[in-house]
Amino acid sequence: MNHAEACDDRRWYTIRTHPKQEDRASYNLLTCEVETLLPKIRDCRYNQFSGAPTYTVKPLFPRYIFGRFELGALLHKIRFTRGVHSVVSFGGRPVSVDDEVITLIRGRMNEDGCVRIAEQFNPGDEVLIKDGPLKNFVGIFERAVGASDRVMILLHTIAYQGHVSVERGLLAKPARTAAAHAHGV
């Protein structure tokens, strides 16, 4: 650890933003040389009639971002930054966020800033397709397809088995399988 790191009193804090102002607050804080973290998620919805996917990117924590700064030097400036509502506090004092929490969130982020929150599947797991044109079909998870969010499953239908490639976010473990695994069956 060098001298600059030893004297660094910057900590991570949770900053509450005005509605739909997360990007604005983050940008304005960056101009004040405050390190920020704005984790996002990619949401996919399917048109109920056509089955066409629509993708949107939105904050993982709506109305909240993380900022790393020295409390005594920048708190007043941060409170009056455009897009910022307040710094999350208890008993009138801002509460810092552990570095481990920030490291955990960053460890789940892709290069595009989106957090991976999809359920993890192992080869052989029974899966249920929860949305889209194959909604409520059951199959067996086989493998991920490259670096994309697509996966291969062996689809079970009446008198037919076929391989199908679907978005990972469309899958869930069926309730009966999750309950059976929980009871060791």
CATH code, 3-107: 3.30.70.940
Which of these ranges, 25-34, 64-73, 85-94, 127-136, has the smallest mean pLDDT? 127-136
Give me the pLDDT at residue 110, please.
82
Of 172 and 126, the one with more pLDDT: 126
Give me the pLDDT at residue 132, please.
72
Where residue 163 falls (left for φ over 0; alpha for ψ -120 to 50; beta otherwise) is beta
Distance from C-alpha of 6 to C-alpha of 152, rounded to nearest angstrom? 49
Distances (CA, A) of 28 to 19, 66, 67, 77, 116: 15, 13, 11, 11, 26
Distance from C-alpha of 57 to C-alpha of 113, rounded to nearest angstrom? 10
Domain boundaries, the chain: 3-107, 126-182
Note the pTM of the prediction, 2 decimals. Answer: 0.63
Task: Give yes or no for residue 2 having a pLDDT over 70.
Answer: no
Distance from C-alpha of 43 to C-alpha of 97, rounded to nearest angstrom? 26
Percent of the chain with pLDDT over 90: 36
Q: What is the mean pLDDT of residues 160-176?
A: 72
State the first-to-last Cα distance of the chain, in angstroms, to the nearest integer.
Answer: 51
Q: pLDDT-based confidence at 1, cuts 50/70/90?
A: very low
Residue 143: exposure state from Cβ atoms within 10 A (0-12, 13-18, ≥19): exposed
CATH code, 126-182: 2.30.30.30
Task: Give yes or no for residue 179 having a pLDDT over 60.
Answer: no
Q: What is the mean pLDDT of residues 7-16?
A: 86
122's enclosing H/E stretch is none
Task: Give yes or no for residue 160 having a pLDDT over 70.
Answer: no
Residues 6 or more apart whose CB falls under 8 angstroms from that of 136 comprise 128, 129, 130
Tell me the three state secondary structure of residue 6: helix
Tell me the three state secondary structure of residue 96: strand
The DSSP output letter for 31 is: H
Cβ atoms of 137 and 155 within 8 Å: the answer is yes
- pLDDT tens digits, one per residue of 105-132: 898 888 887 887 666 777 888 888 877 7
Tell me the three state secondary structure of residue 79: helix
